[in-house]
Chains A and B, each alone.
Chain A
Amino acid sequence: MIELEQPVEAGHEMRAEIRRISNRTRARRVATSRVMVLLCAVALTLAAVPLALLIYQLLKNGVPVLNKAFFTTVPSTPTLIAPNATGGVSNAIVGSIALNIYASVLAIPVGVFVGIYLAETESKLATTLRTIAQTMAGAPSILMGLFAFSFVVHDLKIGFSALAGSFALAVLMLPVIILSSEIAVRNVPATLREAGLALGAKPHKVSMRVVLPSALTGIVTGAILALSRAVGETAPVLLVIGGGFTNTWGLLNPVSALPLSIFENAKSPWPSQRAQVWGVALVLVAFIFLVSLTARIWASRKQQVRN
C-alpha cells in the first residue's frame, strides 16, 4: 500500500475556499448557460427566417403569374399600349431542358466511371484526381462559363450555343458526380466484395456485378442532386448560350434558360415582366426542392431496406 504523498489535514483551508467559490459562482454560471442556450436558439431562428421569408415571397408573387400561357408561349415585349403583354417563358423552359439533358449525357457517364476508378484504385493518379475533383467542386461556377467561352465558343468556333452551355454545365457537374459516385462505391460494405471474391470470381467482375449494383442508389442520387444544382446555375450559361426568344433546342443554336430569363428581366422597367420573373423563380425553386427531397427520401428508404 502506498502512502499518501501529502497528509490529509493540510490543505483543508484550500478545500473550504474552493467550495465557497464554487457555491458563490454557481447561480451566475447556470444563468450564463441559460442565456447562451437562448442565443443559440436565436441564431437557429435567424438562420431559418430568410428561408421562410423567401418562400413566402416566392409563393406570394409567383403563384399569380403561373398560368397556361406562362408555360406554353414565348416571351414578348410589353408596349405602352399593352403593358402586360409579356408572353410566357416556354423558350427558357425548352432551353433549360435541352441544356441539362445534353450536360447530363456529357457528365454523368464520365463522372460515374471516374468515381468508380477512384474508389477502386490506390494510385498517385487517383489521389491527384480526387484532389482535383474536390477543388473543382468548390470552384466558382463563372469559371466554367469562362472555360466554355474560351474553348467552345472561341477556339472551336461554335459560337454562342446550347453546346457551349451544356459544356459549361457538364464541367460543373463532373467533379460533383465523381465525388458522390466514389463515396457510393466506398459505402458498399466491404464484406460484399469479399464474399464475391471468396467465390472465386475475378476482381473486376466482382466490381461490376456485385459492388456496382449495390452502389447504384447512391450513384443515381448523386447524379440527380448534381443535375438539380445545374438547373439553377446562371453564371456558367450566362456567358455562352446567347439567349433568344424562340423554342429552340438545337446543339449549335443559341438557346435560353430559366435562370437566364430571370437575370435578364429582373431589372426590366416593365412591372409585368418583373412579376413574371417571380413565377420563373418559383418554378425553379419548386423543381429543385422537389427533386432534392425526392432523391434523398428515396435514397434513405433504400438504405433502410438494405439495413
Chain B
Amino acid sequence: MEQKTMADMQSKTATTESTNRGPIAMQLRDVAVSFHGRTAVRDCSFDVAKNKVTSLIGPSGSGKTTLLRALNRLHDLTPGAKVSGQILLEGVDTYRGDLTVTELRTRVGMVFQRPNPFPTMSIYDNAVSGLRFNGVKKKALLDEAAESSLRSAALWDSVSTRLKVAASNLSGGEQQRLCIARALALDPEVLLMDEPTSALDPIATLRIEELMTSLKSRVTVIIVTHNMQQAARISDDCAFLLMGEDRAGELIEFDTTEKIFNNPIDPRTLDYTLGRFG
C-alpha cells in the first residue's frame, strides 16, 4: 500500500517536471471519462508538447483509446458518456470554453485504426472532403490543398495520375495514408492517431512511422499504440496507462520516452516495458 502511495506522489511529480517541456499544444487536468456512471479512465493530467509525438501506451483495456477520443470530443456522440476535468487546447477549455465542437475538430484531427476512406468518393474527393465539409468550394484552393496534403502524406507520387479513381482501389497502407492526408488537409494543430498501423503489414507500418516523424514539424501528434517498440521508436513523450482493479484505466506515469523506457519511476511501468505483461 505504501509503495502505491509513493508511486502516486512520484507520478504527480513527474507531471510537474513536464512543465519544462517547451511550448504546449494541449493540457489535460484531472481528465476522467465515464459511461453511464461507470468510470472508464481517470486522473489523467499531463501536457502535450507542441510539435512532438506523444504516445499513450499500456495493455488493452487501459483506457488509452477512450482518453484519445475525449480529445476531439467524439464521446459527445455516445449517450451516457461524461467527460470531466479540463482539456485545454492552446489554453481554451475544449468542453466548456468558447470553442464550438466543429471548430475544435478542424484543429484536432483524427486518424483511425482501420483505414476508412469514404467509399463513395475518389482519392481526390477524400483528400479534400474536410475542406468541402467546411465550406470551401473554390477549385483552385481545393486542388492546392489536395496536392499539399497528399505530398505531406507521402502519397502524391503514386496517386497524382489517378486522383479521380475510387479510394477503395488503394492498398491498406495507401488508404491509411490517404486518411492521414484527409486529416492534414485542414491544417490541424494536433493529430490524434488511434493505433494507426495495427491493421497494416510491417512495410506499410514502417512507412507510416517515418511519416509521423516527419510530420512533427507541422503538427503535434498524439498516438495510441499497443506496440511498445513502436512507441519507443517514434515518440518523444509517453503516457503509460493501466487498468485498475475497478476496471477503470488510470495514468500511471508520464515522462519522456527515454525516461519511461530506460528509467521509469513506477515499477509497473518497468514491468510493462520489459514485457512482463501484455
Contacts and interface: CB of A to CB of B under 8 A. Distances in A.
A29 interface: yes
Given A1-B213, A19-B187, A30-B102, A24 B148 contact: no
Interface stretch (A2-10, A90-98, A103-111, A161-169): A2-10
3 closest cross-chain pairs (CB), A and B? A25-B135, A22-B134, A5-B151
A4 B217 contact: yes
Interface in B147-203: 148, 151-152, 154, 156-157, 186-187
Contacts of A22: 103, 106, 134-136, 186
A15 B189 CA distance: 12
A6 B152 contact: yes
Nearest to B157: A5
Contact of A6 (B106, B151, B211): B151
B144 interface: yes
B154 A2 contact: yes
Interface string A198-212: 000000000000000
B148 A18 contact: no
A305 to B, nearest CB: 25
Contacts of A48: none
Contact of B131 (A1, A5, A18, A29): A18
A26 interface: yes
A79 interface: no
27 contacts: A2-B154, A2-B214, A3-B214, A4-B152, A5-B151, A8-B218, A15-B187, A18-B136, A19-B106, A19-B187, A21-B136, A21-B141, A22-B134, A22-B135, A22-B186, A23-B103, A24-B135, A25-B135, A26-B100, A26-B102, A26-B134, A26-B135, A29-B102, A29-B134, A29-B135, A30-B100, A30-B102
Contacts of B187: 15, 18-19
A8 to B, nearest CB: 6
B20 to A, nearest CB: 26
Contact of B141 (A1, A8, A14, A26): A14
Contacts of B210: 1-2
Nearest to A5: B151
B145 interface: yes
Interface of A: 1-6, 8, 11, 14-15, 17-19, 21-26, 28-30
Number of chain B interface residues as a range: 20 to 34
A11 B214 contact: no
Nearest to A12: B187
B186 A18 contact: yes
Interface of B: 100, 102-103, 106, 131, 134-136, 141, 144-145, 148, 151-152, 154, 156-157, 186-187, 207, 210-211, 213-214, 217-218
Contacts of A1: 210, 213-214
B100 A2 contact: no
Contacts of A28: 135
B204 to A, nearest CB: 14
Contacts of B145: 14, 18
A22 B154 CA distance: 26
Nearest to B140: A14
Interface-centre pick from A11, A15, A22 (highest chain B CB count, 10 A): A22
A3 B214 CA distance: 7
A15 B148 CA distance: 10
Contacts of A2: 154, 207, 210-211, 214
Given A1-B214, A5-B152, A14 B144 contact: yes
Contacts of B157: 5
A236 B34 CA distance: 57
A176 B97 CA distance: 57
B103 A26 contact: yes
A5 B186 contact: no
Nearest to A15: B187
A5 B100 contact: no
Contacts of B148: 6, 11, 14
Given A18-B145, A26-B103, A30-B102, A5 B154 contact: yes
B144 A11 contact: yes
Given A1-B210, A18-B131, A18-B186, 13 more contacts: A1-B214, A2-B211, A5-B157, A6-B152, A14-B141, A18-B134, A19-B187, A22-B136, A22-B186, A25-B135, A26-B102, A26-B103, A28-B135
Contacts of A21: 134-136, 141
Nearest to B209: A1
A204 to B, nearest CB: 43
A118 B272 CA distance: 54
B73 to A, nearest CB: 15
A4 B131 CA distance: 22
Contacts of B211: 2
A143 to B, nearest CB: 38
Interface-centre pick from A5, A15, A26 (highest chain B CB count, 10 A): A5
A3 B154 CA distance: 9
A59 B152 CA distance: 68
A16 to B, nearest CB: 9
A17 B141 contact: yes
B23 to A, nearest CB: 16
A4 B215 CA distance: 8
